[in-house]
Amino acid sequence: TDGQREIVIAKRQGLAIRFNESTVRAMGRTAGGVRGVTLEGEDDWVIGMVALEGGEHSTVLAVTENGYGKRSPVEDYRITGRGGKGVITIKNTPRNGPLIAIKEVKPEDQLMIMTRNGVVIRLKIADVSLLGRNTQGVRMVNLDEGDGVIDVARIFSDDDEA
């Protein structure tokens, strides 16, 4: 990155933190680094990070293990200091499961969702609901019993540079 972007780090329990990249000092390759987000318990870990590009119509996409997801405006995530617990990015309930992926997306992009049983679906980002940050999301993929989302990939539109 150019050192001036905003960073969003998301955790499995559905929380995310947004801070300026400039608050992270440059270090050598072998350095231990600085704390980006505080984890809460053994069942919590970082699931993804986004270096926000910004731009018109840019949103944050959150997808859960049980196939639910949503887009939220970047502005819904207030800028905080590094090391906090974060704010709710998607409600973590038994219905939707833990957070699996977070991406910065634009309406013209597409998305590939991969499941544990090998099912891959492709859908338009514009078809994913734009909802507030503190909601559960909507069903993005129908899953068989025992199946779950394991990864999500953004497919850039033809006019974007990847």
Q: Which two tokens stand for residue 71?
A: 């887009």
Q: Are 113 and 152 in contact (CB under 8 A)?
A: yes
Nearest to 82 by CA among 36, 50, 44: 36
Q: How many whole angstroms from its chain centre is CA 102?
A: 1
Q: Which two tokens stand for residue 59?
A: 């949103």
Global pTM? 0.87
Over residues 86-110, the mean pLDDT reads: 92
The per-residue pLDDT for 6 is 92
pLDDT in tens, 18-31: 999 988 888 888 98
- Is the pLDDT at 160 greater than 60? The verdict is no
Over residues 63-70, the mean pLDDT reads: 94
The per-residue pLDDT for 158 is 67
Interatomic CA distance for residues 65 and 85, integer angstroms: 21
